[in-house]
Amino acid sequence: NAGVMQNPRHLVRRRGQEARLRCSPMKGHSHVYWYRQLPEEGLKFMVYLQKENIIDESGMPKERFSAEFPKEGPSILRIQQVVRGDSAAYFCASSPRAYNEQFFGPGTRLTVL
Amino acid sequence: GENVEQHPSTLSVQEGDSAVIKCTYSDSASNYFPWYKQELGKRPQLIIDIRSNVGEKKDQRIAVTLNKTAKHFSLHITETQPEDSAVYFCAASSETSYDKVIFGPGTSLSVIP
């Protein structure tokens, strides 16, 4: 059973471009979480999704950010019109159910020039 | 919403000594408390978790205690080794927060050989 996969591992974008981050959860996991981590800081919750549903997006900025977890395929975190402040490591995690261990992916390190 | 605080932010111990990290949470409905370890440049990984129906849990050199009345929980690492050096995050989760996990800011532990 492969672990949580994220791609790309590193992403460089210029200001104003779009960034698409992908997360494939572990097999059998229907809960996906996205976190943002700035250098030497903690993990900030962004959004919690189950298949085809956004359960909680209270940690996600209202503008430019969106997330989805379609019936087929990976979960996508999309950042439109990126700014330098979006530079961070974005981790996704999956779990088979609530109140359960979250398994983290290797992260995507986004750099905005 | 839930707020998790963590102390100390940095901790340095001699190899073989014990390390203690303390966390407090604000939501009295929280009932799941995981601890994650993140080595430099790596993904966070669960090291131990505790649910609100128990007060203590131990796994080899690692133990976690929970005081629901005071809303605080602690991580204890005994006989520390250099490979224990990492950032440790506590977290809390509750049904009222749609099961999302809120992380503390992290403790950077250095074990000096």
CA distance A95 to A90: 17
What's the mean pLDDT in A4-8?
96
Residue A100 confidence (pLDDT): 74
Q: Is A53 on the interface with B (CB under 8 A)?
A: no
> Is A101 in contact with A35 (CB distance < 8 Å)?
no
Residues B1-23: pLDDT tens digits?
788 999 999 999 999 999 999 99
pLDDT higher than threshold 70 for residue A1? no
Q: Which letter, b or e, does each residue of B74-108 get, where b requires 16 or more Cβ atoms within 10 Å of its Cβ? A: bbbbeebeeebbbbbbbbbbbeebebbbbbbbbbb
Nearest-5° Cα angle at B104, B40 to B6: 100
Instruction: Output the furthest CA–CA distance in chain A (Å, rounded).
Output: 38
Chain A residues touching residue B1 (CB < 8 angstroms): 58
Residue of A41, A46, A92, A102 to mutate, interface with B, max B Cβ within 10 Å:
A102
> Is residue B95 within 8 Å of residue B28, measured between CB atoms?
no
**Residue B41 φ then ψ, to 5°:** 75, 5
Q: Which residues of chain B make contact with A104, given a CB cutoff of 8 A? A: 36, 43-45
Determine which of A41-50, B59-68, B72-81, B96-105 has the lowest per-residue pLDDT on average.
B96-105
Cβ distance A104 to B43 less than 8 Å, yes or no, reads: yes
Spell out where chain A has E strands.
5-7, 10-13, 19-24, 31-37, 43-50, 53-56, 65-68, 75-79, 88-95, 103-104, 108-112
Tokens of B61: 């050199």
Query: What is residue A99's predicted lDDT score, i.e. its pLDDT?
Result: 66
Residue B95 pLDDT greater than 90, yes or no: no
Which residue of B33, B35, B43, B109 is the best one to mutate when testing the A interface, meaning the one whose CB has the most A CBs within 10 A? B43
* Alpha-carbon gap: B75 to the closest alpha carbon of chain A (Å): 17
